Chains A and B, each alone.
Chain A
Amino acid sequence: MPDHNTEMKKVYLYTRFERFWHWAQAIFIILLGITGFEIHGSIKLFGFTESIEWHNTLGITWLILFVFIIFWAFTTGEWKQYIPTTQKLFSMIKYYSWGIFRGETHPFPKSEEVKHNPLQRLTYLSIAVTLIPFQMVTGLLYYTYNSWEAWGLGFLNLTCIAYLHMIGAFSLLLFGIVHVYMTTTGHSIFAHMTAMISGWEEIPDEETEDAKSS
């Protein structure tokens, strides 16, 4: 859907490694979700034994990738993109719950310097520093159940760990649903999705906008 009011310009927002880790994590979440729910007994697809082997291998592999992602975020300074802010947070909430239906303009255009709106910053940060580590910790504990006693973790309870891991799984599933839907709210349905593949995002050209409004 071409925009008639504002000139669009293409900016290179997502670098190669950033796109790689995004899609790799997407695959991890999907496959871990499927195999996890099969282990849990909710679905039947690969087979219980196969699901366990895949789930364990995928989990450990993600852990390795996650270390690289953290390393990347700090060496490139990209971590700054995830500093939470309340600035314009309310207008974002207002936009998604009201303005978007009335065709209002997105209150927070993306730029190379600020890739994420305040809602995204909050969501991604809490997922990266809370939910994923939570799943990794509960998952690793689940995996190393037999060694608890030797590690002085005998006070842990498998039921409890399993339930927590399950809660984490549902949380990731919920995030996935909303996240995928939100990618359709760009200036065209697949705009954000395409950007995450190519790295190039179309954003409103502020100069032309400024020229118009003046």
Chain B
Amino acid sequence: MKRAIYSILVIFASACMVLATVAPILADTSEVAPGRQMAKQATKGKKLWITADHFKMEALQQEFKSGPEVTAACLSCHTEASLQFHKTIHWTFLDPYSDKDVKIGKAGLSLNNFCINMQSNEPRCTSCHAGYGYKDKNFDFTSETNVDCLVCHEQTGTYKKFPAGAGHPAKKPKVFKGNKKTYHPPDYNKVAQSVGRPTRKNCGTCHFYGGGGDGVKHGDLDSSLMKPNKQLDVHMGTDGQDFQCTRCHTTKLHDIAGRIYTNPAIDHRKSLIEDDLTPKIMCESCHTAAPHKAEGKMNDHTDKVACQSCHIPYFARVNPTKMWWDWSKAGKKKNGKPYAVKGPLGKASYHTKKGEFKWGKNVAPEYYWFNGSINGLTAKDTIDPAEVVKVTWPAGNADDGKSRIFPFKVHRGKQPYDKVNKTLLIPHLFGKKETGAYWGNFDWKLALEKGAEYAGLKYSGEFDFVETKAVFPTTHMVAPKDNVVQCTQCHTRDNGRLANLTGFYMPGRDVSKAINFLGWLAVVGALGGVSLHALGRIIGIKKFGKK
């Protein structure tokens, strides 16, 4: 009877153990991870349908001579379009949600460590303003016809704003000295009749060239995303789903989903399952919060680690991105003339106008806790020049319950600051020589004076250069699932990707030196102890024999 009970116990226990071991393997039979399956369901069969053909529109048959004339035609049907657009940051260049007096935004006092600030440099910078004629701070932001519909909606690919034309295309063929290219006036009728939903090319015309050139500002946005393959971006790949930007940056009344300065892209994380009208701006919107196959601890990461941290192992994987910009070296001349030096990766390593550059390709991001909000200095904020000044930095920490570890490109450099007032300075870079522009005179003193004057800021007249850094969240260039950051690139004792993030325990990286020391000491002690004991017994047997 007893033996029978034992046998049953043994068989039962064995069966349970086998089951426990095999269950995860059996569960693994579904080939697609749940998150992929959800996303596929959410996106499959998307066919756009359109009820209007702009080629046939009467309003677009007239002879156009300028952008604003086209806009007026657009508004004859789309009566609310400009008014909607006026409310967005694409128009105001100011954070619509922050205190107006603080002036957060390009048109305000926000800074970066590329061309620093737009004020006094408008005609050059506003070639990326979706409007016409933003040539200085007196621009009329109430004008409906000055909205540039075409730059975002035209589909011929021939519409180009002149790089220093305050948002206007060239009126007649004109060479831009900066790149020696000739800019032609657009064929407005063709362009206007081609309009449709914005594509990667529309958005990319500005956003791939942030910071003044291809891939300068963002490591995850550059011209390689015009026609990417799946290896570069698994969603946008033209050999795959061929996502356009607007597939994720969903839009309501011309207000496009995405982070704006301190305002996160989305209030809280949720998927389309929880809210079918939620913006699709997060990975989770389609992939859910438990996207991985059930086995392992992968899904247990999603509340603390953003998808991007693992799924964008490196940024700037095709085109290089700027990693260092030292303004203090600007102004050197060769034979009395400005010059440029081509460096590694085929990119300039020096330019008299701008200083010294370093570029990076296949760069591993830096990681910070991030709650979706990016803080930044304005030209009024006091800095400590004794240390590297953070021009922008991610908000959040390990303990606030909503931050996650997120990858960033960190752009470093040196830029001018006021030695007395301890503020970062806005240089007047672009303009005619007579205006005191740096690119005309190579005179910092003058350019900084003019910049401060224009922006209405205090300036002591004493300046120097300080090292700064600025952060850019890395969220595009999502790699296919076989190209991800491996567990041990973070879960490792030394030099892991998260080596600098403290305040939390991470297996494989963190140890208690005391426990480990005492633990191993005890192990050595135990081994020594039993060895000595064994030796004692051997001697004992020889001496006393065994009874």
Q: A65-B17, A170-B515 are in contact. Are A101 and B491 (CB under 8 A)?
A: no
B13 at the interface (CB under 8 A from A): yes
Interface residues of B in 442-501 (CB under 8 A from A): 486-488, 491-493
The main secondary structure of chain B at its interface with chain A is: helix
Name B401's closest neighbour in chain A (CB-CB): A149
The segment from B53-61, B201-209, B270-278, B530-538 that touches chain A is B530-538
Return chain B residues, CB-CB under 8 Å to A20: 10, 13
Say if the beta carbon of A184 comes within 8 Å of chain B. yes
A49 proximity list for chain B (CB < 8 A)? 296, 486-488
Chain B residue total in the interface (Cβ 8 A): 55
Chain A residues with Cβ under 8 A from B486's Cβ?
A: 49
Q: Which residues, 7 to 21 on A, are CB-close (under 8 Å) to B?
A: 15-17, 20-21
Instruction: Encode A108-120 as 1/0 by CB contact (under 8 A) with B.
Output: 0000000000000
Contact A102 B540 (CB under 8 A): yes
Interface string of B289-303 (1 = CB under 8 A from A): 000000111001001
Q: Cα distance A100–B544 when bound, in Å? A: 10
Given contacts A103-B545, A174-B523, A181-B534, contact A64 B508 (CB under 8 A): no
Answer whether residue A152 sits at the interface, using C-beta atoms and an 8 A cutoff.
no
A166 within 8 A of partner (CB): yes
Is B527 part of the contact surface with A, judged by Cβ < 8 Å?
A: yes
Count A-side interface residues using an 8 Å CB cutoff: 53
Q: Are A158's CB and B509's CB within 8 A?
A: no
B546 sits at the interface (CB 8 A) = yes
A17-B537 CB under 8 A given contacts A1-B546, A52-B297, A158-B505: no
With contacts A104-B547, A167-B519, A181-B534 taken as known, whether A68 is within 8 angstroms of B24 at the C-beta atoms is no
A95 to chain B, nearest CB (A): 12
Report the separation of the CA atoms of residues A53 and B300 in the bound assembly, to the nearest whole angstrom: 13
Proximity string of chain A (159-175) to chain B, C-beta cutoff 8 Å, 1 when within and 0 when not: 10011001101100110
> Most B CB atoms within 10 A — which of A16, A17, A64?
A17
CB distance from A21 to the nearest CB of B (A): 8
Instruction: Contact check, B508 vs A39: say whether CB atoms are below 8 A apart.
Output: yes
- Cβ contact of B509, chosen from A41, A75, A96, A105, cutoff 8 A: A41
A residues lining the B interface (CB < 8 Å): 1, 3, 5, 15-17, 20-21, 24, 39-42, 47-49, 52-53, 56-57, 60-61, 64-65, 68, 71-72, 75-76, 96, 100-105, 145-146, 158-159, 162-163, 166-167, 169-170, 173-174, 177-178, 181, 184-185
